[in-house]
Structure 1
Amino acid sequence: MPGAGSRPAEDARVAIPLQLPAGLAPEPGGLTLEASGRAMGVAWTLRAVSLPGLPPHVLGRVVQQALDQVVQEMSPWIPDTAISAYNRAAAGEWVVLPGAFAQVMDCGLGLAEASDGAFDPTLGRLTDLWGFGPPGPVDSPPSAGAVAEALAASGWRRLAFERQGRRLLQPGGLRLDLSGIAKGFAVDHAAAALRRVGLRHFLLEVGGELRGEGMKADGQPWWVALERLEGEAPGQAPLVLALCGQSVATSGDYRRFLVHEGQRLGHTLDPRTGRPSQSGVACVSVIHQDAMWADAWCTILSVLTPEEGLALAQAEGLAARLLVSSKRGLEERLTPAFQALLD
């Protein structure tokens, strides 16, 4: 997971936003407060420059409530959430979605089309089948027949979504899974809640997805180091990001996986095959204005081959870093937009 540090080491490669907002520096005398908790099955942490009347427990409550709202709408692990209710709906039923849920679905369906199905929010059956969903882990991969059956019941093109009325059609037997986008949205949602109470300088992390606003109390940016993986070129300088009004998401097959007969099968499923992605992309990091988009694009770039992913990322102007498995270990590939942050 990316980590927050003080200052970059002298040998670090530093990525700095091309345009910085005016008036970034915090008020003199501000102190750094910290809060933490758990939501969505992961830990969250907040570091913020203090404001009068906003002690850590208040800020922590703001973050926790925002994250809990996302869980209540979009977690299939809890029976009484909005997504669980949709997954149980009868064939042909139109379900009115809560506002945040509808926003995520709108983004997810747009990215499904933009990526030609490399992103698909309808893989709940397949996620469960491979042992990455609420039913829990499995000892061995599912049969080809079971995968084909679950794949036939899935597919974003089976959905119909009415944006204005926030209505989503349940075509029958389809189960949503928003794990490739919801955590990023949760970061955005909590960050917006912090801004509403007047907080201007903070670094928020939810399970490895980060959002930085403003600056630290000492006037330094919020420095975030991208995690180094075993197999990276030993002489390659570490990458450190200055997060200011930006978010970064990271996804990789080294976090959650199923091991079968010596083969590691990652948790990112390829919607086109119904099986764990075999793209050769070991890790992706994306810097974006919104954590939701960064999170979803990480999922897409983990599914596509490196060549496909880099071409699409370049066409979309994404600042992305890929670590690609090769005979020489993990090779780093940067999009032009990411390289521009280093130049």
Structure 2
Amino acid sequence: MGTSWSVRIVDAPPGSLAAIEAVLARIIAQMSNWEAGSDISRFNAAPPGQWTALPADMLTVLRAGLDMARLSGGAFDPAVGRLVAQWGFGPGGLTGLSAAPSHPSPWTAIEIEGERARRLADVTLDFSGIAKGFAVDAVAAALHDLGAAHFLIEIGGELLGRGIKPGFQPWWVDVEAPPGMALPTLRIALCGLAVATSGDYRRFREEGGKRLAHSIDPATGAPIVNDVASVTVLHESAMMADGWATAMTVLGPDRGTALAARHGIPALLIGRTETGGQEYMTPALAAMLD
């Protein structure tokens, strides 16, 4: 996934490390666009219209991604791989820009039937906005199966906490403001909760003096230009927190927070301004902090 992971476990059961590594290896083998032999690469290479059998984990993420696409009006789109590659954020570097998306609402060109799926047009899957969250959930499930009850999991900045730390303290997590912004730190107790943050300062490149964020707006086929610096979302599922954060990042301050408010999602969006940053907090998060 091009990132690091860490797990803190109270009284770690035997075999914990091996179980974690097995989960992550399985997910990479299924969902990494950087692995030519992965299931997602195999699916993307199949001719449009051809059905491809998919493993259970990948189907879970694909179904969740399509559900998120419907909920967000396409702001989250698991089939933007072609656009991601065109803008140089895929494994092949820049592949050449087009003036408009190759397919409007790419996610609508993906069809699932039972344990198989197919592309109805020349779009490709990219789970970079949801797979890390799924990996966090999968590691948590594996540790639970081993008997672990108290742990904190972090993969690329997405976190999930279960139980408590020694000394009967919750797993406290600080969500810092984007670099260069003098905003207060958001401190969260992760007790059965996950938190995911999407930001334009993590993966980007400079072009013509402009910052091009890795988040692609499916409606325009280009990197977002809505001055969103970061979005932090809390959810019981790290996968869902990851997906909601991506969708809100694409939609921007007004539409993004309105979407989260409609669905009761605790979230904090930080927008860039000429003087620094501005916070937008959803009612669900405000209620949690009261």
Q: Same fold (TM over 0.5)?
A: yes
State which structure, 1 or 2, has the greater radius of gyration over its C-alpha atoms. 1
SS at match of 1:151: coil
The number of residues matched between the two structures is: 290
Deviation per CA, 1:190-235: give whole Å up to 9, x if none: 1100000000000000010001000001110001000232343x3x
> Could you say which residue in structure 1 is the equivalent of 2:8?
47
Q: SS of the residue aligned with 2:4? A: strand
Give distance in 2, aligned partners of 1:295 and 1:230.
21
Aligned with residue 41 of structure 2, among 63, 84, 109: 84
With the length of structure 2 as denominator, give the TM-score of the two structures.
0.96
In 1, the alpha carbon distance for the partners of 2:279 and 2:121 equals 43
Alpha-carbon RMSD across the aligned residues, in angstroms, is 1.6
**Alignment partner, residue 72 of structure 1:** 29
User: Deviations for 1:161-200, whole angstroms, at most 9, x for unmatched residues?
Assistant: 22xx122122243211111111100100111000000000
Match of 1:61 in 2: 18
Q: CA deviation at 1:328?
A: 2.3
Alpha-carbon distance in structure 1 between the residues aligned to 2:194 and 2:99? 35
Per-residue CA shift, 1:272-309, capped at 9, x if unaligned? Answer: 11100112211000000000000011100000021111
Of the candidates 280, 283, 287, which is equivalent to residue 234 of structure 2?
287
- Which secondary structure state, in structure 1, belongs to the residue aligned with residue 102 of structure 2? helix
Q: How does 1:251-290 map to 2 (within 5 A)?
A: 251-290=198-237
Instruction: Give the aligned residue type for 2:127.
Output: L
2:190 to 238, 243, 252: 243
Task: Give, as a single letter, the amino acid of the residue that structure 1 aligns with 2:103.
Answer: A
Partner of 2:112: 161
Residues 176 and 167 (structure 1 numbering): CA distance in 2 closer, same or farther, change over 3 Å? same
Moved over 4 A (4+): none
CA contact (8 A) 1:215 1:244 kept: yes
In structure 1, list runs of 5 or more residues that go unmatched. 1-39
Residues 160, 193 of structure 2: 8 Å contact kept: yes
Offset at residue 60 of structure 1 (A): 1.6
In structure 2, do the counterparts of structure 1 residues 319 and 153 end up closer, same or farther at CA, with 3 Å as the change threshold?
A: closer
- Identity percentage of aligned residues: 45
Map of 1:305 onto structure 2: 252
1:152 pairs with 2:106: no
Provide the C-alpha distance between the structure 2 equivalents of 1:228 and 1:156, rounded to a whole number of angstroms: 32
Q: Tell me by how many angstroms 1:339 deviates.
A: 0.8
Tell me: higher relative CO, structure 1 or 2? Use CA pairs within 8 A at least 6 residues apart: 1
